[in-house]
Structure 1
Amino acid sequence: MTPSACLQATLDLMSEVDSVARPADAVVSAWFRARRTIGDKERGQILELLYALLRHQARLGWWLVKHGREDMPRNRLLAWLTLKEGKTSDQVKALFNGAKFAPAVLVDHEHALLVKLQGCTIDHPGMPEEVRLECPPWAADPLRRRFKEAFGNEMAALLTSAPLDLRVNPIKSTRETMLGALKDIGVRARPSAMAPYGIRVDERLSLAGLPMLKSGEVEIQDEGSQLVAILVDARPGDRVVDFCAGAGGKTLAIAAQMNNKGHVVACDVMEGRLKRGAERFRRAGLHNIETRLLASETDRWIKRHKGGFDRVLVDAPCSGTGTWRRNPDARWRAREEQGLDNLVALQARILASAARLLKPGGRLVYATCSMLSEENEEQVAAFLGAHPAFRVVPLHEAAPRLTNSSHPDYLSLTPARNDTDGFFAAVMQREASPAPSAG
């Protein structure tokens, strides 16, 4: 593909991301599946530009509004080429040449925009801090309360590219073997800093070129997510529920911890996610997992299995603020009906309902990929206040080797501090029922 063709392909893809309600990664996957003739090199170029535009969306929009232009994909791309790549108007005009597969020729008002932006950079002293840091208005105050003077540093970290982490499946291989296999195919990788089965890949690469991914020897999983699964501390023979399993990333890690022994139930309210999870379970060689489609967080199945499990993981739906560097479009997709208050209320209902599944002495892990206190520490405090049978298991007791948390009792990770996604996890134990009195 020519440079002009790559620009047009990026424009087409960005227009589709803008026009649908689905997350960008899902749109991207479907878009490339329908265009299998695009090579790996060009695919990488298109993706790199798309995600750069998403990471700079607020700033590009600010410049367009400043000059009276509509915030739309083509204008964003013109602004990007000038403000970030430093191209002259003549260089941009050469790319927007109207040839086959190239963007249409510039019109007068587009050329005028390029002239106005010439010599400027993407940041401007007149930008509000939230715009410069690409922080949506609904999240600015909660994140400032959480991070205080570190707010700017944490937001800046969310504007970087997320690393590629793999989790070795101990049922099929070892970390040492997989590191050697990656080296043999020319991939630079190293052991993760905290996760015992984790591998960090130190380069961008096509995942289609990883044979160990197809064989189920490794899975793609952020190091922070791997640590959440470790906190479940599932043992061979246990009965475990992954209450909001999604496509099963943490379910896989938990079942592997159990050495394929015992019973894991992966629950979710979305059938498509569970089906994708089931395919991953088979590929990983895990046979101790059952999938369970729930009608809601209060499904009758929960009442029928009350007190029947040793471990319950609640990886609750959340604002996803901790994943913004991986999913830069997510910060702009918050809808009114999915506001923070509604999410917090849903999390409370899910946590209270899932807790009923736990037997006395069992462990309940509440986790989010959020960095907002309202969804994390405050949610746990509210639960404990309403459920006196539960107590917090401090992190030093639950996982003594995890020493890099920013909270003394809970797992609390951020991209700036830990170079993982932002994660929170609290471990709680249901106290054993008191023995009946002798009298």
Structure 2
Amino acid sequence: MTPAGRLQAAIELLGAIEADRRPADAVANEFLRTRRFIGGGDRRDIGETVWGVLRARRRLGWWIERVGATPTPRLMVLALMVLNGITVHRAAAEFGGSRFAPPALEDEERRVLEQLDKHTLDHPNMGEGVRLEMPDFVVPLLRARFGDRLEAESAALMQPAPLDLRVNLLKTTREEATGLLAKAKLKAEPTRLSPWGLRLAPRQSVTTSQPFRDGLVEIQDEGSQLVGLLAQAQPGMRVADFCAGAGGKTLALAMTMENKGHIVACDVSPARLDGAIKRLRRAGVHNAERHLLEPGDKWTKRQGGKFDVVLVDAPCTGTGTWRRNPDARLRLKESDLAELVVKQAAILDEAQRLVKPGGALIYATCSLLDAENQGQVAGFLARYPSFRIAPVGAAFPAYLQGDYLLLSPARDGTDGFFACRMERAA
């Protein structure tokens, strides 16, 4: 594809994302799957343009509306080009110059670009939520958590996330996996915090590599790997991954258990559990089974008090993953947070039934908001005084030790994660 053709595809994809209620990555996958003529390099360039717009969506909208226009996908792409220092003349040259290029600029579009010329994305008159690229109601909540660090954390959330892998110790070592990835022309470095992790530059084709196909590595953020480490699942234990989703943490738990013992991967979605089974087979895991949680299900009652470890990776706002999902911050509403806090408490109430005396309940989210994290734990402990917090252990760096595992992009280089290990009295 020509550069102009890639621009047109990016504009079309942005339009599809705006018209669809699904997450942007799901829309993008379908968009690209139906356009097989778009090659790998073209996909990366298109993705960089689209995700660049999504990461700057509130600021771009502010600028375009400031000069009296409507933020269309086409105008946002143009505005991003000019506000990032490309001249109006050069931006205009990309439009209308070839068969597959976007149509030539209209007079109104040229007027907008001329007014944006010589400016940058940021402006002192922007509201704090616009400048930090987050919903207005979230700003005071994150300010309460981060204080003066909020600007640094919000800047980190606007950057592309690295590509982290978890080495599958059931099949290989971190050193061997690094060498095999290098043979596949994928340069990987050991992660700083996770003993199982490798980090690559973003947007590399790992899933087509032989190490991935052989189940030697799995894509998993370093922070998510640390949640698995906090669980301390050992060989021979009985473990429940209560919100297993596609099985990322189930895989890590099976690895620390050395395929010995029993894991039950639970979820409310049959499709997600089907995806988990495929990943477990590829990884060589054979001590896990799945269980579909359905309305009226009596499984937790029948299995009460039988598990050594129960992991609740709860549904949440996902504020800690905004590096990967910048569109999520545009959809998040205050009512969503209120609904999720109620759902998280209900999930914990159900999951705790499975924990045997002396067993552990790990509560985790990929949220940065205290209401979903420390606040949720405090409410749970008030309802169930037989549980107590077990501080983060010596397997973690000293600065991470405490009652909670708290991770953030600027400080730790991971997605934003919260986790707390609670143990039931014997």
Output the TM-score relative to the length of structure 1.
Answer: 0.94
> Does structure 1 residue 6 correspond to structure 2 residue 6?
yes
Q: In structure 1, what is the equivalent of residue 298 of structure 2?
A: 300
> Does structure 1 residue 383 correspond to structure 2 residue 377?
no
> Does structure 1 residue 408 correspond to structure 2 residue 382?
no
* Residues 1:382 and 1:208: Cα distance change in structure 2 (over 3 Å): closer
Deviation at 1:405, TM superposition (A): 4.9
Q: In structure 2, what is the equivalent of residue 429 of structure 1?
A: 423
Q: What do the CA deviations read for 1:318-370 (whole angstroms, capped 9, x no partner)? A: 11111011111111122565x21211111111011100011101011000001
Q: Check whether the contact 1:188–1:203 (CA below 8 A) recurs between aligned residues.
A: no
Q: In structure 1, what is the equivalent of residue 183 of structure 2?
A: 184
RMSD: 1.5
Q: Check whether the contact 1:162–1:326 (CA below 8 A) recurs between aligned residues.
A: yes
Paired residues, number: 426
Q: What do the CA deviations read for 1:131-157 (whole angstroms, capped 9, x no partner)? A: 111121121111111111211111111
Q: Check whether the contact 1:225–1:250 (CA below 8 A) recurs between aligned residues.
A: yes
Q: Check whether the contact 1:405–1:413 (CA below 8 A) recurs between aligned residues.
A: no
Report 1:311-350 matches (<5 A).
311-335=309-333, 337=335, 339-350=336-347
Aligned mates of 1:401, 1:238 — CA distance in 2: 20
Q: Check whether the contact 2:164–2:198 (CA below 8 A) recurs between aligned residues.
A: yes
Report 1:23-422 matches (<5 A).
23-84=23-84, 86-97=85-96, 99-202=98-201, 204-296=203-295, 299-335=297-333, 337=335, 339-396=336-393, 400-403=394-397, 405=399, 408-422=402-416
| Amino acid paired to 2:60 | L
Aligned mates of 2:312, 2:334 — CA distance in 1: 24
SS at match of 2:327: helix
| Amino acid paired to 2:94 | L
Greater shift in the superposed pair: 92-101 or 27-36? 92-101
| Amino acid paired to 1:190 | E
Greater shift in the superposed pair: 89-98 or 236-245? 89-98
Q: Check whether the contact 2:184–2:210 (CA below 8 A) recurs between aligned residues.
A: no
Greater shift in the superposed pair: 280-289 or 419-428? 280-289
Deviation at 1:37, TM superposition (A): 2.0
Unaligned 5+ segments in structure 1 are 433-439
Q: Check whether the contact 1:241–1:313 (CA below 8 A) recurs between aligned residues.
A: yes
Aligned mates of 1:23, 1:133 — CA distance in 2: 21
* Residues 1:406 and 1:172: Cα distance change in structure 2 (over 3 Å): closer
> Does structure 1 residue 20 correspond to structure 2 residue 7?
no
Q: What do the CA deviations read for 1:283-331 (whole angstroms, capped 9, x no partner)? A: 11111111111125x7321111111111100000111111011111111
Q: Check whether the contact 1:187–1:203 (CA below 8 A) recurs between aligned residues.
A: no
Aligned mates of 1:404, 1:326 — CA distance in 2: 28
Aligned mates of 1:15, 1:404 — CA distance in 2: 47
Q: What do the CA deviations read for 1:203-232 (whole angstroms, capped 9, x no partner)? A: 642224421111111000000000101111
| Amino acid paired to 1:416 | A
Aligned mates of 1:286, 1:218 — CA distance in 2: 13
Deviation at 1:184, TM superposition (A): 2.5
Q: Check whether the contact 1:404–1:418 (CA below 8 A) recurs between aligned residues.
A: no
Q: Check whether the contact 1:192–1:198 (CA below 8 A) recurs between aligned residues.
A: yes
Aligned mates of 2:28, 2:9 — CA distance in 1: 12
Aligned mates of 2:247, 2:216 — CA distance in 1: 15
Q: Check whether the contact 2:390–2:423 (CA below 8 A) recurs between aligned residues.
A: yes
Deviation at 1:243, TM superposition (A): 0.5
Aligned-pair identity (%): 51
Greater shift in the superposed pair: 17-26 or 185-194? 185-194
Aligned mates of 1:404, 1:328 — CA distance in 2: 31
Q: Check whether the contact 2:128–2:139 (CA below 8 A) recurs between aligned residues.
A: no
Deviation at 1:185, TM superposition (A): 3.0
Deviation at 1:406, TM superposition (A): 5.1
Aligned mates of 1:393, 1:89 — CA distance in 2: 58
Q: Check whether the contact 2:135–2:332 (CA below 8 A) recurs between aligned residues.
A: no
SS at match of 1:345: helix
Q: Check whether the contact 1:405–1:412 (CA below 8 A) recurs between aligned residues.
A: no
| Amino acid paired to 2:279 | R
Aligned mates of 1:107, 1:117 — CA distance in 2: 16
Q: What do the CA deviations read for 1:87-107 (whole angstroms, capped 9, x no partner)? A: 222222221106422111211
Output the TM-score relative to the length of structure 2.
Answer: 0.97
| Amino acid paired to 1:341 | A
Aligned mates of 1:267, 1:100 — CA distance in 2: 51
Deviation at 1:188, TM superposition (A): 2.0
Unaligned 5+ segments in structure 2 are none
Greater shift in the superposed pair: 47-56 or 28-37? 28-37
Aligned mates of 1:324, 1:404 — CA distance in 2: 27
